Structure 1
Amino acid sequence: MWGRQTNEQMAGTNQQQMKQTFIVASLMLIIGVLAFTGMMNISSFRHQYVTSLMNSQSVVVGETVRKIEFAVKYGKPLENFHGMTPLLEEIRGQLPGIQQVEIYSSAGEALYALENITLPENMKPRAVFPEKPSQAYVYGLEEGVYHQFFPIFNQDGQPIGSLGLAFSENLVDQRVRPYLYQQGRNLLLLVCLATLALIFLSGKKSPVTAAGHIDRKILLWLMVGVIGSAQIIYGFLNYRMFQEAYLTQTRDNTAAVASIIEKDVKTVLDKGVGYHQFYQMDQYLANIANSLPEVEGIRMIQNDRIVHGMTPEEAGSAWKPGEEATGLALPEGAGEVSGMSLQVTISQEYLRNQLRELLLDTLTVLVTSTFFMVELTFFLMVWLSRKKKPTSVGEKTRQMEEIPVGEEIWQAEEALQGKEHLMAEDQTLDALVVRVLAFIVFTAIFMSSSFIPLLMKSISRPVMGLSENVIYGLPISFNFLLGALGIILAGRYIDKIGWRKTFFVGSLVLGAGTLLSGLTTNPLVFVLVRGITGAGYGFTLMAMRGCVLTLASDKFEGYASLNAGIYSGMNCGVVIGAMLADRIAYRGVFMVTVVLIALAGLYVLKFTQKPSDAEIKTPTVEEKLVKSADKKQIEPLKHFFSDKKVFLFLLGILLPAGICMMFLDYFFPLLTQEMNVPVANVGRAFLVNGVCIVYLGPLINRVLGKRLRVETLVVMGALSTIGAMAVFASVGTLMAAFVAAFLLGIADSFALVAQTNYLLGLESAKILGQGLALGYYSNVKKIGQMLGPMVFGGMITLGNQRGIGFIGAGVLVLTLAFMTTLRRSKAEPEESEIPL
């Protein structure tokens, strides 16, 4: 009896310690997730604030640029422009935060400057505008300084130079800081409330069992429920705060516009010119209104009548105030009746668009942080289980099998039950270890996916007569090419050195390639280092597959966890990288990626270290394939590739699927830049695509998998891909591109499994061996991904919509060719479905 009481006391102490550890770790998790949500929200708001600030500055600069263009029109050369310095001084007088105002030639050479501040090399290409620029200005952030450039045109409408502004990032920080403080107060309040809720709910239903084990289902529901609710509330509070801040900024911009016009009007009035004598005032007001998207219209009003509007027809008509307008009394003109006022009307359509963009950003952050929260919860499970779990196999066996002599029979039964629980717990735990590792690695890898083509575009130069669009895709193609070679090479050596050493080799190569990607400005070197990055990716991917074979007791559960971690990491990585790119520039994102790769290495050292790990050398599937291929299996291989069904499946389904995947990786970033929309939209497109795969995929497979044959699902996946191309080819808008991303996600959500089942069910694949058939499946898919940027780059030279339409038509032809193999006789057996 005494022994039983002692064991119960020890169990109670152990449970209490685990509960305390759980509360502390959960508090850290709550702070981490909400801080992550807040960081992404403030980054999104900051980007919109910077855009609004740039728009307001364009009003002041626009007037100066028009004066310069007017002088050039009448023969004054830009290179020898007398009186340029006073014009630049006038800009700095109206924009006190500006550090530098400079004029550049069409070749990017500095002609005039107020301060002796050298323009960074990375910014010089932005000072050169193409023949017909689609943007009113461009800007970039380099070394803590924002640079904004405006084109200057000659009488033929051709750019002959540019005007550049430079101002410190601190100017933006000062404006954003009050909202950051308010966001921090909201965060602190929600952390306290969430912690209290967690303590209360865990008291009602504890995730720690009486034996001190972790009940993962209870823990997952607790964390998702509490932190998810806190995230939703936090997102709503941030949206309302940023909404009010944006409205305030819009009103400030319109007030600044009114003040600029008032100053110009006063200058003219002082010369004795009356309001009714103003010449081309309507054109002047229209130019200012068009330069600021927040402004719907600018009019001079007297006695509820329009004296000067944005068109000559408006003069004399009745004044009808808009939904919101900024009014400013104007000085009296010589010999004229007083009562003249300036009315600047805010564009409600633009305001709605911007608030919708803010809402989309908030929802994007919420979905991304949900992925982040779930994966961090799984990490919490791994960490808590490792604290409870014995550190060695021998110690685990002793703890499970040692039963003290003289104890009652109930102790033996209790020990056996604990042993069974630990064995079942270990199977799930090892799968979670792999999932968290995959999440960290793929978050790092995909952080740069949203801007690789854009970065290549900014540093590219003509190569071997290739079109520009093909050149922009070379880093992606070379990445996939060496990635495929890395997978093959790792498959040959992982059995000799073990998965952990393979992972560290891959991490070093991946980290080196990523670091060099952020440092180089040479396009050929950039393509090369992206290839190095791809080779590192291949090694790490193979290592994680080897990790599943080594650690996971249930291989199917292990691979399912690996795929879940991969897709979660992809979605988080793209969204985070796209948002950070607007904040810390491309180079900064590469540096963050290197840090995450290092964290992945530390995670492997901490959470996969077992005494037997370094010695375990389990042959991978790829290694077994190499050995089996060496055993004179030439005839099955020949039979496999000569099979019409296999050939048309690889050519008609798998290769086009790999090519069309590059719609997101390659084409979408270029489209956002062409449409002059934020890079964050690339992250949203990946998020739409990933949510379909991660969440809709299992549901679609459960519903359709039981009702339709596997080849029908393969064709449906191809038709969904064709539909994605057709939607964009028909409309060509950003929304159509998002619909295409959605349809591609729907296709992958069930077609990936269906394609694998179809191939493995073919007779020639069974003769060759399912493992070797899967190896060729992966290689063909990689070839498609490698060719994708070249295909898209070549086709869109015909125009975005037409080029994507031709790609869709090509996929349709190949799909029809594949469908000719689906006719079979009644005596021919159906392909077997193999669940993966």
Structure 2
Amino acid sequence: MDRLSLKSKLIINTLVILILALGFNAILTLNSLEKFYVESIASQYSVVGKDLKRNIERPLGFGKSIENFVGMEKILEDTKSNLIKKNVRDETAIHLSTSITEEVSVSIALPDGRILSSTRPDLAGTRLAVYDKIDYKNASDPVSSSPAYIKYKDTYVTHISIRNTKDEWVATAMIMFNQDQVKSVLKKVRNQSIALISAILCGGMAVLALIFHFILPDRFGSPGMNGNSPKFKLQMIVFLVVGFAQIVFSGINTYSFNTYYLEINRQKAGSLIHLLKEDIEFLLSKNIQIHKLVRIDAELNKIITGSPELGEIAILDVDGMPLYMALNPDAGDLDSAAGIKGEDPAYTIRVELMKEGRIEGYISTQILKKALFKKLLETGLDSATIIVISILFFGELLLLAFQFINRRRDASPARKIHYKAIRPIAFLFLFCIDISISFLPLHMEAIYEPLFGFSKAMVMGLPISMEMFASGLAILSAGVWMDRRGWYEPFFWGLVLAFLGLLYSWAAPNALQFILSRGIVGAGYGFSLMAVQGFVIVHSDEKNQAQGLAQLFAGVYAGSICGGAMGGMLAERIGYRTVFLIAAAILVLVILGILVLMETSFKRRKPMTGSQAGEPTGMEQIRAFFFNRSILGLLLFGIIPSATAVVGFVNYFFPVYLDRIGTSQSNIGRVYMVFGLCLIYIAPFIGRIMDASGSKKKYLVIGGALGSLALILYYFFGGLAVTAGAIFLLSLSMCFDASRPYALTFRETRNLGIGKSLSIFTSFEKIGQIIGPILFGALFMAQDLHLALAYFGIGYLALTLVFFLTARKDNPPSLDAP
């Protein structure tokens, strides 16, 4: 019975993890398709909108006033009629419904936001709140491939500026459509994903049940933290099953995306051809011959320029020979075989040009295969990122699942609490905290308003600085709190503060309140981060304390990397603000988890090992601590410069820098993954080497040299590749951080108390973390940004050398022990 119970628990917990992984993958895939589909509709509507723009600007060129424009209502109704006409159908369509309903409206708004005329009479004379987001006073229409559209409540708005002969913005054409049009299309995709997930789950359940039947331990065993059961084998099985399920699911979705991409773009191309067909057939009806059309080449070039997913568009004679053609400059060898004579039916749309019932020629266009493969590559990278995140994510959840299975056995008073028990909780906590790490300054830029006379770049860094400042204050008080009351209270109330701060970040209406909200998050982070270290110290000894901290921070960095990467992808699809709400919801689960799973530890509170709990620290011990030359040098020339460089670059500079050079939010998140993966997998290996070494000072110097090199590289190079390399070098410098083991070798540190000493060291780190974003924000004002970074790196290297020359060698504990 015990064996059957254990097998059932393992299968149930593994299936829960599998459902979470596949479900999140499906949500991201659906959001990706939704974003692409909305852009396609907006792009299709913008084609009609530009035709409207020409029809209005032409009379304005003769001196007409937009306020007294005669015939505006008819022009708008004709535009709406063009929008709701059925798209060109073809034999390869798979019935992905994109029918346009009567809910589509076309309006003309004045620069002050007042609706001048609309196909919806109830809108005339009103002012829409969405207009606050439209400003063409100092900017022209976007020239990028992505159309200009805004989502406001349940409506999407495509907008195009209208200008007079002096190029002054006099009005805005707005095409609005309801999100129900998008939802109807995505419903089919969602149902297919649910069916696919169900099939994979059934297969996974069968495989797990079969394998667990043969590899589970004897009926009296249990895969606990310290048992002799084949825990590693169980973890590998779950990794393989969930990993393979993710790969299969992602592969099928990537293949399906190819079909959706083709059909959506075929429909857009059909709309383009329909408008062009009407114009040409009108000219043909006036007895203009098809080979004598005037300025048709310019019109074809406009279509290609505004539709980068098209490889070519041509007008052919009755024999299929091209008369006029426009080619996409991105079309290369991949598309050369798909010319007019060797066209690929799956990528080609052709319609007839008619005059009095006879065919006069054809319009032919082709979908650019390179554009398809580019989209497939983006989808593949997202899928690969999700798989990596899932491996880390369900690995931590697996530890949590084993802890849940064994919680009754661990509740025994004689049962020793293992220091690994806190790792999955710390993972989820950092996942919530760092889910915004890749876009925090970008969200601040979106809600920017002038503050305190600072430059915009410095204001963008204030949320990070406030978060670090508040966490520093919390860390200082957390050491005393833990000495007196144990680790549980600061951890629990830290979680509550972080939850409230995340909710405030989501609801913050302006920049100042958003900065304050990050302060609340930072305070919660500081209390909880110190508390989890206290948990490890309480439940470990001198022989495994370093290993316990390494395991803890592996979970911490795993949470950071997963949160950062996942937050980047979510922000790109659902917006920055909503991500804060998701993090708050997950944090509620963390709070409930510790109440259930950590109950035993709460009942066994004891003071921090190595601290003088509840007793005031004498001024002589504090003075001796700070006047130790090596400790002071470590604080000023080691810890502060390192924290300044790492947080300033990783948390602030690199996401802003990559965003400004055109890197997607998803790729920014993936670059951040390099930082986390290095700290998860390389740091423990280097940590074992440092533990076996008699000197920690040399590793601090190596770490400083690597960190400075990361910044000096910008003297020679720039761009995405060097930024990824700099992230890797900075993460390596963190792997060589031996500051705490080095400091603990001195008598003054141990006399002061481990808990209070850790608080001081962490607080000095926070000083550097506060300075970092502000300092790197100031670097953006430099005339040569790359040169400024290199000079900063040289200064960092100089401070590392000062530490090397002034600090003493490690003091062996056996000689200096009090």
Q: Is the 8 A contact 1:294 1:350 kept in 2?
A: yes
Match status 1:810 vs 2:796:
no
Deviations 1:549-608 (A, max 9, x none): 445575444423321221121122223333333444334322222211211111111011
Q: Quick one: distance in 2 between partners of 1:293 and 1:262?
A: 20
Query: 2:184 — aligned with what?
Result: 174
Corresponding residue for residue 769 of structure 2: 785
Evaluate the alpha carbon distance shift between residue 560 and residue 646 of structure 1 in structure 2; reply closer, same or farther with a 3 A threshold.
Answer: closer
Secondary structure at 1:450 match in 2: coil
User: What is the CA distance between 1:434 and its match in structure 2?
Assistant: 0.6
Is this contact kept in 2: 1:515–1:590, CA < 8 A?
A: yes
Q: CA RMSD in A?
A: 3.8
In structure 1, C-alpha distance between the alignment counterparts of 2:458 and 2:196, rounded to whole Å: 48
Give the C-alpha shift of residue 520 in structure 1. Answer: 2.3
What amino acid is aligned across from residue 572 of structure 1 in structure 2? Answer: C
- The equivalent residue for 2:314 is 299
In the other structure, the counterpart of 2:254 is 239
Query: Take 2:454 and 2:127, find their aligned partners in 1: how far apart are those partners?
Result: 31
TM superposition shift of 1:435: 1.0
Which residue of 345, 348, 359 corresponds with 2:366?
A: 345
User: d(CA) in 2 for partners of 1:812 and 1:708?
Assistant: 29
Alignment correspondent of 2:673: 687
The secondary structure found in structure 1 opposite 2:313 is strand
Give the Cα separation in 2 of the matches to 1:829 and 1:552.
Answer: 27
Please say if residues 11 and 209 of structure 2, whose CA atoms lie closer than 8 Å, have aligned partners that are also in contact. Answer: yes
Structure 1 residue 809 displacement after superposition: 2.2
Question: Match for residue 266 of structure 1?
Answer: 281
> Deviation of residue 291 (structure 1)?
1.0
Alignment of 1:16-35 (within 5 A): 16-35=4-23
- 1:322-365 deviation per Cα after TM superposition (whole angstroms, max 9, x unaligned): 66753423424699x95522122322332222221111111111
Local SS of the residue matching 1:174: helix
Listed as ranges, the matches of 1:175-190 within 5 Å are 175-190=185-200
TM-aligned CA deviation for residue 218 of structure 1: 2.9
Which residue, out of 552, 564, 569, partners 2:559? 569
Contact 2:470/2:522 (<8 A) preserved: yes
Query: Percent identical across equivalent pairs?
Result: 25
Which residue type is aligned with residue 751 of structure 1? Answer: F
Alpha-carbon distance change, 284 to 506 in structure 1, aligned in 2, over 3 angstroms: same
List runs of 5+ in structure 1 lacking aligned partners.
1-12, 312-317, 398-422
Question: What does 1:478-489 align with in structure 2 at a 5 Å threshold?
Answer: 478-489=466-477
CA distance in structure 1 between the aligned counterparts of 2:197 and 2:454, rounded to whole angstroms: 52
- The answer on 1:378 being equivalent to 2:360 is no
Any conservation in 1 of the 2:701–2:804 contact (CA below 8 Å)? no
Answering whether residue 351 of structure 2 is matched by residue 329 of structure 1, we say: yes
* Letter of the structure 1 residue corresponding to residue 652 of structure 2: Y
* 213-222 or 350-359, larger mean C-alpha shift: 213-222
The aligned length equals 773
Deviation at residue 712 of structure 1 after TM alignment: 5.4
Write out aligned runs for 1:428-443 (5 A): 430-443=418-431
Decide which moves more: 718-727 or 202-211: 718-727
1:748-770 deviation per Cα after TM superposition (whole angstroms, max 9, x unaligned): 3x233x45455556898789777
Q: Does the Cα contact within 8 Å between 2:46 and 2:158 map onto a contact in 1? A: no
The residue identity in structure 2 corresponding to 1:174 is: S
CA contact (8 A) 1:329 1:339 kept: no
Please say if 1:697 is aligned against 2:697.
no
1:413-812 alignment to 2 at 5 Å? Answer: 426-427=416-417, 430-551=418-539, 555-610=545-600, 613=602, 616-619=605-608, 627-628=616-617, 630-640=619-629, 647-650=636-639, 654-671=640-657, 674=660, 678-699=664-685, 713-725=699-711, 732-748=718-734, 750-752=735-737, 754-757=738-741, 774-798=758-782, 802-812=784-794
Letter in 1 for 2:505: S
SS at match of 1:308: strand
How big is the shift at 1:682? 3.1
Shift of 1:683: 2.5
Following the alignment from structure 1 to structure 2, what is the Cα–Cα distance between the partners of residues 476 and 175?
Answer: 40
- One-letter identity of the residue aligned with 1:447: I
State whether residues 710 and 833 of structure 1, in contact with CA within 8 Å, keep that contact through their aligned partners in structure 2. Answer: no
Residue by residue, what CA displacement relative to the aligned partner does 1:221-268 show, whole Å, maximum 9, x if unpaired? 221122222222222222222233223323333233222321232233
Asked whether the equivalents of residues 257 and 376 of structure 2 are also in contact (C-alpha less than 8 Å), the reply is: no
CA contact (8 A) 1:795 1:804 kept: no
* Structure-to-structure mapping, 1:44-83, within 5 angstroms: 44-78=32-66, 81-83=69-71
1:309 alignment partner AA: M
- Which piece of structure 1 moves more, 572-581 or 624-633? 624-633
* 1:72-102 residue CA offsets vs partner (Å, 9 max, x unmatched): 5554455554444444434433334464434
State the secondary structure of the residue aligned to 1:628.
Answer: coil
Instruction: Return the alpha-carbon distance in structure 2 between the equivalents of residues 660 and 506 of structure 1.
Output: 24
Question: Is residue 101 from structure 1 mapped to residue 102 from structure 2 by the alignment?
Answer: no
User: In structure 2, what is the Cα distance between the partners aligned to 1:247 and 1:820?
Assistant: 61
Asked if structure 2 preserves the Cα contact closer than 8 Å seen for 1:29 and 1:376, the reply is yes
Q: Supply the distance in 1 between the matched residues of 2:585 and 2:160 (Cα, whole angstroms).
A: 36
Determine the C-alpha separation between the residues in 1 that align with 2:510 and 2:553.
35
Structure 1 Cα separation of the partners of residues 138 and 615 of structure 2: 53
SS in 2 for 1:261: helix
How far did residue 160 of structure 1 move? 5.6
Q: Which moved more, 1:803-812 or 1:134-143?
A: 134-143
The Cα of 1:206 is off from its aligned counterpart by: 0.8
Distance 1:347 1:24, change over 3 A: closer
Q: Which amino acid aligns with 2:637?
A: L
The secondary structure found in structure 2 opposite 1:463 is coil
**274-283 or 150-159, which deviates more:** 150-159
What is the CA–CA distance in structure 2 between the aligned matches of 1:123 and 1:443, rounded to whole Å? 36
C-alpha distance in 1 between matches for 2:495 and 2:401? 24
- Give 3-state SS (helix, strand or coil) of 2:40's partner: helix
Q: Which 10-residue stretch deviates more, 540-549 or 561-570?
A: 540-549
Structure 1 contact 295–344 (Cα < 8 Å) conserved: yes
User: Residues of 2 paired with 1:160 and 1:746: CA distance?
Assistant: 56
Contact 2:457/2:780 (CA < 8 Å) preserved in 1?
yes
Where 1:43 maps in the other structure, the secondary structure is helix
1:315 matched residue in structure 2: none
Shift in CA distance, 153/385, structure 1 to aligned 2, threshold 3 Å: farther
User: What is the CA-CA distance between 1:186 and the residue it aligns to?
Assistant: 2.0
More moved, 454-463 vs 300-309? 300-309
The CA distance in 2 between the partners of 1:516 and 1:65, in whole Å, is 42
Shift of 1:142: 4.2
The one-letter amino acid paired with 1:691 is L
Write out per-residue CA displacement over residues 461-482 of structure 1, whole angstroms, 9 at most, x where no aligned residue. 2223322222222222111111
Inter-CA distance 615–206: structure 2 relative to 1 (3 Å threshold): closer
Contact 2:429 2:559 in 1 (8 A): yes
1:183-198 → structure 2 map (5 Å cutoff): 183-198=193-208
Paired residues of 2:430 and 2:560 also in contact (CA < 8 A): yes
Does 445-454 or 104-113 show the bigger shift? 104-113
Which residue is equivalent to 2:87? Answer: none
Could you list the per-position Cα deviations for residues 166-204 of structure 1 after superposition, in whole angstroms to 9, with x for gaps in the alignment?
A: 333332222222232222222112211211111221122
Equivalent position of 1:124 in the other structure:
132
SS in 1 for 2:454: coil
Alpha-carbon shift at residue 773 of structure 1 (Å): 5.6
Q: Does the residue aligned with 1:95 lie in a helix, a strand or coil? A: helix
In 1, are the aligned partners of 2:73 and 2:117 still within 8 Å (CA)?
yes
Are the structure 2 counterparts of residues 111 and 548 from structure 1 closer, same or farther at C-alpha, using a change threshold of 3 Å? Answer: farther
- The alpha-carbon distance between structure 1 residues 53 and 468, as it changes in their structure 2 partners (threshold 3 A), is same
Q: Aligned-pair distance for 1:20?
A: 2.8
